[in-house]
Amino acid sequence: MNEFKHLDKMNLDSLLSEISAVELASILNGVFSKQNVLLLNDSELISENLHKIFDFIFKDTFISNISILNHLEYIRYKWNYDNYEIVDYDEIFDGDKKKKYLKNMKIESAMIKKFLSEEYSKSGLIILRSEIIKAFELSNSIIKILQNHTEVQELTKKDLSESLSEKYGIEIQSEYLDFLLEIVKNYHQQDLSRLSD
């Protein structure tokens, strides 16, 4: 696979040992919410190579703005990152933030878990990329359904789920539909007020 060319030169397993699953899920969550994301990580391996993974998994789908700094750089340039979602391992496991992360990132966490559970890192990356493409395509389909829907009749989440299931031949669980609707609202900045439960 030619797309792996820039990934071949690095040891993915070594790279992935330098970052936690929660950090990766947090980054996905930030991208899906169309936020600028700043990862605080002191690993040189991460700062030099992680962007290659993100370039691969988000190719032709979500536009991402992910920066990586070590903690000392962040202290020095903190004011430049006021509008960023900060992903910091030390803070993720701090009380209230931990609850927020666990509650709001179930789908992202499942994607990362599937990716990391693969025996071969490259296979895991392909699976993760496929999940991201799926979320991107389904969220765009939701937008088309909303745009084509006449205001005469009510559109419910159940109707939306059935339309997606019919079009793609997959069952859409309510939790996954809510995840997609968050992408539609936050990333694509679409109004969901016409949609009812």
146-179 pLDDT, tens digit each: 988 877 678 899 999 999 999 999 999 999 999 9
* pLDDT class of 195 with cuts at 50, 70, 90: confident
* pLDDT class of 140 with cuts at 50, 70, 90: very high
> Residue written as tokens 């691969």?
56
pLDDT at 38: 97
Using CA atoms, how far residue 4 sits from 7, 12, 56, 67, 75, in Å, is 5, 11, 8, 22, 35
Between CA 87 and CA 35 the distance in angstroms is 12
Q: Which of 195, 191, 188 is nearest to 33 (CA)?
A: 188
Q: CA-CA-CA-CA torsion for 113, 63, 187, 151, nearest 10 degrees?
A: -120
53-102 pLDDT, tens digit each: 999 999 999 999 999 999 999 999 999 999 999 998 777 666 666 666 66
pLDDT at 153: 74
**Please, which residues bridge with residue 195 across strands?**
155
| Greatest Cα-to-Cα distance within the chain, rounded to the nearest angstrom | 57
Q: What pTM, to 2 d.p., does this model score?
A: 0.90
Mean pLDDT of the chain: 89
**Which has more confidence, 18 or 90?**
18
Residue 111, judged by CB atoms within 10 A of its CB (0-12, 13-18, 19+), counts as buried
